[in-house]
């Protein structure tokens, strides 16, 4: 059932997350900040002469448990619509799937798929993921409720949304629906085509980590290589400086007393650093800060690029009390915290667990409890640094990350490992055997190692963009975009053209 679309009335629903000071994942904060910057730019919020038409917001009534016909409980799922380029009812529909966060009006206005819509007269719709943003079912986030949160539930929502929105907007039955998504939502886009090829004509899956993995040590392998990459401003010296900075952090943590107290203030660690588990929280946050510079390298809204980060570690002031790499890392923390509007880089383990155990939905729609639940019950994705070649600290180790699943949800490490194996068995991992899917990745992005980077046949193609970061192909175009990124976007457009030509030929054969 569709609850009709209403005109979006301005920035009231653009929820700001940057003022929070809670023990949450730094990488998620960075991703949300960058998405917000990219989606909000150029939206014409002034409503003055010459501004673009505003997207519409609507709500779909979705079943809480679509796999149980006797359970009629429902929730409202938010969607956004941009129909300003929609030429006719036979035209294509570009469905932008939301992932593990809030979805705003920019999702149908900026970057792709919105940028691709004018050329094909497409209707652009984005669908917020259940349990994230404002699409959270009533009743809180306890374990009973979270049992209805999974990728399979999300795909069931895609199916019912496709049918409801077709009726609501009077879309022709022959119109091709093309799914788009980035990161986890990119996996959903690929899986929507894999599981429902009669409803989804094709999919473009950007930076999609389709292989679930418990121990994601490969993440830091890519981070290490990227820090050495001269193409994006890295160097062997930079990677060595990162190792030196982390070694200095660990030395100061071990020293205790006044030295540790000074470190706590300098690196914005809130809470005690006396226990190993608390030190691991800080070291994990520092790893995420460096990983974030790589993962979002060169993107609008990113606080630091690899080139800037390496510049700090290699060119910062140096004296006996503040060795150069450590001082540069300290400056990097200051810059990122200022950009995100946060006071604290890390909290104690006890505070982290308490925050994640809270079952009241946050008004801001941050979604950290929900995403942790999905990693514990489907994906893993726990980034570790236990390989000797890894430039960071070996903390936090995998056992402490798995302990979080048990502390917060009562889920054992063996159950998490089993869930990861089941996910790969159900979807096919890195060989999903879906047709008419284009997998797009950047080789700077640490997540590309879990994606499809080589074609798996004539109908399952792949594009690996040199020196491109996470979901960079989806971002709004900029004059500073590299030639390889421009070429990659051209390839995406050409693939889309091929698919839509196939769809048009099918319409003609069908007598449309």
56-115 pLDDT tens trace: 999 999 999 999 999 999 999 999 999 999 988 899 999 999 999 999 999 999 998 999
Is the entire prediction scored with pTM above 0.85?
yes
Mean pLDDT to the nearest integer, 324-329:
95
CB 456 within 8 A of CB 433: yes
Which residues are known catalytic residues? 183, 445, 470
pLDDT of 2 reads 53
Rg (CA), the chain: 23
**Mean pLDDT to the nearest integer, 142-152:** 97
Give CA separation, 509 vs 237, 282, 361, 410, 498, in Å. Answer: 61, 61, 50, 55, 17
pLDDT in tens, 230-251: 999 999 999 999 999 999 999 9
Q: Does 162 have pLDDT greater than 50?
A: yes
pLDDT at 42 over 70: no
pLDDT for res 293: 97
Across the range 312-339, mean pLDDT stands at 82
**pLDDT above 90 (res 51):** no
Instruction: Answer yes or no: is pLDDT of 363 > 60.
Output: no
**Average pLDDT rounded to a whole number, residues 129-139:** 95
Buried/exposed 175-198: b ≥16 CB within 10 Å, e otherwise: bbbbbbbbbbbbbbbbbbbbbbee
For residue 404, the surrounding DSSP H or E stretch is: helix 398-409
* Chain CA centroid to CA 168, Å: 29
- C-alpha dihedral over 353, 397, 271, 320, to 10 degrees? -170
Q: How far apart are CA 343 and CA 293, in angstroms?
A: 19
Segment 282-288 mean pLDDT: 94
Judging by DSSP bridges, how do beta strands 2-7 and 56-63 pair with one another? antiparallel
For 173, other C-beta atoms within 10 Å of its C-beta total: 9
Which H or E element spans position 81?
Answer: strand 74-82
- What's the average model confidence in pLDDT over 177-183? 98
Percent of the chain whose predicted confidence (pLDDT) is above 90: 78
Least confident of 48-52, 153-157, 319-323, 414-418: 48-52
Q: Which of 456, 492, 379, 511 is nearest to 94 (CA)?
A: 492
Backbone angles phi, psi at 392, to 5 degrees: -100, -170
**Taking the C-alpha atoms of 372, 373, 374 and 378 in order, what is their torsion angle to the nearest 10 degrees?**
120
Q: pLDDT at position 25, please?
A: 81
Query: Tokens for 409?
Result: 């949800």
Strand partners, 110: none
Cβ-based neighbour number of residue 296 at 10 Å: 27
The pLDDT of residue 387 is above 90:
no
Q: What is the mean pLDDT of residues 249-254?
A: 95
Residue 255 is predicted with a pLDDT of 94
Give the pLDDT band (50/70/90) at residue 28.
confident
**In this prediction, what percent of the chain has a pLDDT beyond 70?**
90
Residue 474 — very low, low, confident or very high, per pLDDT cuts 50/70/90?
very high
Instruction: List, in sequence order, the alpha helices (H) in 92-210.
Output: 117-120, 143-146, 151-168, 184-195
- Write the DSSP symbol of residue 140: -
pLDDT above 60: residue 133: yes
Q: How confident is the model at residue 26 (pLDDT cuts 50, 70, 90)?
A: confident
How far apart, in whole angstroms, are the C-alpha atoms of residue 217 and residue 470? 17
Report pLDDT for 36. Answer: 86
* Average pLDDT, integer, range 33-56: 66
If we measure between CA atoms, which residue out of 171, 71, 77 comes closest to residue 130? 77
Q: What pLDDT, on a 0 to 100 scale, did the predictor assign at position 9?
A: 29
pLDDT at 6 > cutoff 80: no
Mean pLDDT of 495-509: 88
Which residues contact residue 322 at a Cβ distance below 8 angstroms, ignoring those fewer than 6 apart?
330
Band of pLDDT at residue 450, cut at 50, 70 and 90: very high
pLDDT of 3 reads 52
Distance CA 178, CA 115 (A): 14
pLDDT for res 10: 29
Asked if 66 and 329 count as a contact pair (C-beta separation under 8 A), the reply is: no
Residue 479's pLDDT is 94
Quote the pLDDT of residue 395.
Answer: 85
Q: Which residue has the higher pLDDT, 365 or 402?
A: 402
Antiparallel, parallel or unpaired: β 74-82 and 56-63 = antiparallel
Which residue in 286, 292, 347 sits closest to 29, CA to CA? Answer: 292
What are the residues facing 442 on neighbouring strands? 465
Distances from the Cα of 83 to the Cα of 42, 121, 365, 429, angstroms = 17, 9, 26, 35
Give the ranges where 196-273 is alpha helix by DSSP (H): 218-228, 236-255, 257-266
Mean pLDDT over 277-291 rounds to 94
**In what helix (H) or strand (E) does residue 414 lie, and over which residues does it extend?**
helix 413-427
Q: Which residues contact 45 (CB under 8 A, 6 or more apart)?
A: 10, 11, 51
Q: Look at residue 394 in the predicted model and tell me its pLDDT.
A: 87
Measured CA to CA, the distance from residue 365 to residue 180 in angstroms comes to 22
298 cis-preceded (ω within 30 degrees of 0) = no
**Over 70: is that where the pLDDT of 8 sits?**
no
pLDDT of residue 47: 36
What pLDDT does 22 receive? Answer: 33
Residue 380 CB: number of other CB atoms within 10 A? 23
Residue range 271-286: mean pLDDT, rounded: 92
Give the mean model confidence (pLDDT) for residues 258-270.
95
pLDDT of residue 316: 52
Which pLDDT band, with edges at 50, 70 and 90, does 23 fall under? very low
Contact 193, 434 (CB under 8 A): yes
Element of type H or E holding 80 = strand 74-82
Going by pLDDT thresholds of 50, 70 and 90, the confidence category of residue 430 is very high
pLDDT tens digits, one per residue of 189-215: 999 999 999 999 999 999 999 999 999
Averaged confidence pLDDT in the chain: 89
508: pLDDT strictly greater than 80: no
Looking at the predicted structure, is the pLDDT value of residue 321 above 70? no
């Amino acid at each position: 059932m569709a609850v009709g679309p209403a005109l979006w009335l301005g920035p009231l629903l653009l929820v700001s997350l940057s003022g929070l000071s809670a023990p949450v994942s730094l990488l998620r904060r960075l991703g949300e900040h960058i998405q917000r910057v990219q989606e909000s730019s150029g939206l014409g919020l002034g409503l003055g002469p010459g501004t673009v038409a505003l997207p519409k917001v609507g709500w779909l009534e979705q079943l809480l448990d679509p796999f149980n016909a006797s359970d009629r409980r429902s929730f409202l799922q938010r969607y956004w619509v941009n129909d300003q380029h929609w030429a006719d009812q036979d035209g294509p529909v570009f469905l932008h799937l939301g992932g593990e966060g809030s979805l705003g009006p920019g999702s149908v206005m900026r970057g792709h798929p919105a940028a691709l819509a004018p050329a094909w007269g497409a209707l652009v719709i984005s669908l917020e993921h259940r349990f994230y943003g404002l699409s959270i079912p009533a009743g809180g986030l306890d374990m009973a409720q979270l049992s209805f949160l999974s990728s399979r539930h999300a795909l069931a929502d895609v199916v019912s949304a496709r049918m409801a929105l077709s009726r609501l907007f009077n879309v022709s039955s022959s119109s091709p629906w093309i799914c788009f998504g980035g990161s986890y939502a990119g996996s959903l886009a690929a899986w929507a085509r894999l599981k429902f090829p009669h409803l989804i004509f094709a999919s473009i899956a950007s930076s999609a980590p389709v292989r679930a993995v418990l121990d994601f040590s490969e993440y830091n392998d890519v981070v290490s290589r990227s820090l050495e990459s001269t193409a994006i401003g890295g160097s062997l010296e930079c990677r060595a400086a990162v190792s030196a900075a982390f070694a200095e952090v660990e030395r100061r943590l071990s020293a205790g007393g006044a030295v540790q107290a000074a470190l706590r203030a300098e690196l914005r660690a809130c809470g005690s650093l006396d226990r190993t588990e608390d030190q691991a929280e800080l070291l994990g946050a520092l790893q995420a800060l460096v990983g974030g510079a790589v993962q979002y390298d060169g993107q609008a809204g990113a606080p630091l690029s690899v080139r800037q980060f390496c510049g700090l570690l290699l060119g910062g002031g140096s004296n006996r009390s503040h060795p150069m790499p450590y001082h540069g890392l300290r400056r990097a923390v200051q810059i990122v915290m200022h950009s995100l509007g946060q006071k604290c880089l890390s909290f104690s383990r006890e505070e982290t667990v308490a925050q994640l155990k809270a079952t009241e939905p946050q008004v801001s729609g941050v979604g950290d409890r929900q995403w942790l639940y999905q990693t514990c019950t489907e994906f893993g994705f726990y980034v570790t640094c236990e390989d000797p070649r890894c430039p960071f600290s070996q903390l936090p180790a995998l056992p402490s990350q798995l302990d979080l699943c048990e502390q917060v949800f009562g889920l054992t490490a063996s159950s998490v490992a089993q869930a990861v194996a089941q996910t790969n068995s159900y979807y096919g991992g890195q060989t999903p055997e879906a047709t008419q899917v284009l997998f797009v990745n950047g080789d700077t992005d640490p997540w590309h190692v879990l994606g499809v980077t080589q074609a798996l046949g004539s109908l399952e193609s792949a594009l690996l963009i040199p020196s491109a970061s996470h979901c960079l192909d989806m971002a709004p175009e900029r004059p500073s975009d590299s030639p390889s990124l421009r070429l990659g976007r051209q390839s995406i457009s050409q693939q889309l053209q091929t698919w839509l030509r196939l769809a048009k030929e099918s319409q003609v054969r069908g007598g449309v």
